Amino acid sequence: MQVLQAPKNENHFDFSKAIKSATTEVDLHIEQLIQHHHHLSSSEIIGIQLKACQQALDLAIATHQPTLILIHGIGKGVLKLEIIKLLNQTKHIKSYVNEFDVKYGYGATKVFFQF
């Protein structure tokens, strides 16, 4: 008698893969996210950065990380303000603080999660 196995669902969440790709720091500078960015508008750049930020948050939450550092730079503060809006709308975030450290160029936010 032959035992049939259901085909693997290609769309299921692969927790072991997620754990391997999880990180405690994410650099959201556009040049760290995509190679060719000089032709993009400011709004397109912010959109790409926020999508990367959301993906990092989702992965951190899915893998129950205690913290995540989002490196956004200091600039004019536009990206930081958008990140704060995103953090305020995201479940499982306990708090966040400015990570004022030369290691991050004084432009990072440390996020603390609660599960």
List domains and CATH numbers for the chain: 24-113 (3.30.1370.110)
Residue 10 has pLDDT above 70, yes or no: no
Structure token digits, residue 1: 């008698």
The Cα–Cα gap between 76 and 82 comes to 12
Q: Are 66 and 98 in contact (CB under 8 A)?
A: no
Confidence band, pLDDT 50/70/90 cuts, at residue 104: confident
Q: For the chain, what is the mean pLDDT?
A: 87
pLDDT value of position 75: 87
The angle that helices 78-88 and 42-62 make with each other, rounded to 10 degrees, is 40
Mean pLDDT computed over 22-42:
91
